[in-house]
Amino acid sequence: MIVTSAPGRVNLIGEHTDYNAGFVLPTPIPQRTRVALQPLGGERVIVSSRELGGSVDYRLGDERRRDGWPDYVMGCTAMLRRAGHRITGGELRITSDVPVGSGLASSAALEIAMLRAFREACALAIDDVRLALLGQRAEVELVGAPVGAMDQLASSLGSLGAALFIDLRSLELRSIPLPAADLIVIDSGLHHDHAAGDYRLRRAQCDEAARLLGVAALRDVTTAELAVVARLPPPLDRRARHVVTENARVLAAVRALEDGDLGRSLVP
């Protein structure tokens, strides 16, 4: 029996910047998703979870969207195979205390725990960064959620008590110790769904804003160009302004943490 786990995360600063090739500063939380895998050989995969509700039974190579949590499981095995990794079936039991739909990256915790289990069971040569990118691909290509890679990178490489600075273009990663203080996360009661709703719309709006500005991503626009951003049609002007100024705030937050200056203003 192989048992693996991965944490959820909170993002300290850097909202809607990851899918714009920008900067983020998440940190993992104590809550984790755990996967117990009993290798069976062959191609049959049997997965159950009391917390997520229900089970799925499928064959490797027959992964398809079913509009539920099994999509994240099947996405992981599908992406491993598409990347050329040889995997075999097994029986998996998933347990988790990461709240689902609360913006704490429960899907990324599931993906990373799943991928870690198959990596160990099948002796796959995959480093932690590549593991995270496979998790992102699972969510984008099979689940249908156009996410950036922040959640998976934070779950795969983050450490408790430290923030993880991520440059989503270069994949530069830097661990930054956090001060000795309690981190309080408040549940707003709003359900979070990357595969539908405003998230998908805002990503499309950011892509359109970048196209109109003539850049590959909004990451390429600086605060010195906010006057140009202001000439975009609404609501693209607001979307672009947020990303540009939020990237600047992330970099300012990193400098403040490294300098131990928690009172520093982050206004760009």
Would you put residue 84 in left (φ > 0), alpha (ψ -120 to 50) or beta? left
Token pair of 133 as six digits: 């990118």
Q: Tell me if residue 151 is catalytic.
A: yes
Among 151, 193, 220, 237, the active-site one is: 151
Q: Which helix (H) or strand (E) holds 2?
A: strand 2-13
- Long-range pairs of 224-227 with CB within 8 A, sequence gap ≥ 24: none
Whether 240 contacts 218, CB under 8 Å: yes
- Taking alpha carbons only, the member of 23, 26, 19, 16 closest to residue 239 is 16
Do 26 and 164 contact (CB within 8 A), yes or no? yes
Classify 123 in phi/psi space as left (phi over 0), alpha (psi -120 to 50) or beta. left
Of 171, 135, 236, 134, the C-alpha closest to 18 is: 171
Distance between CA atoms of 3 and 20, rounded to whole angstroms?
A: 35
What is d(CA 162, CA 140) in angstroms, rounded to the nearest whole number? 28
- How many contiguous H segments (helices) and E segments (strands) does the chain have? 7, 7
> Half-sphere exposure of 63 toward its Cβ, with a 13 Å CA cutoff?
25
**Which three-class secondary structure state does DSSP give residue 40?**
coil
Q: Name the residues annotated as catalytic.
A: 151
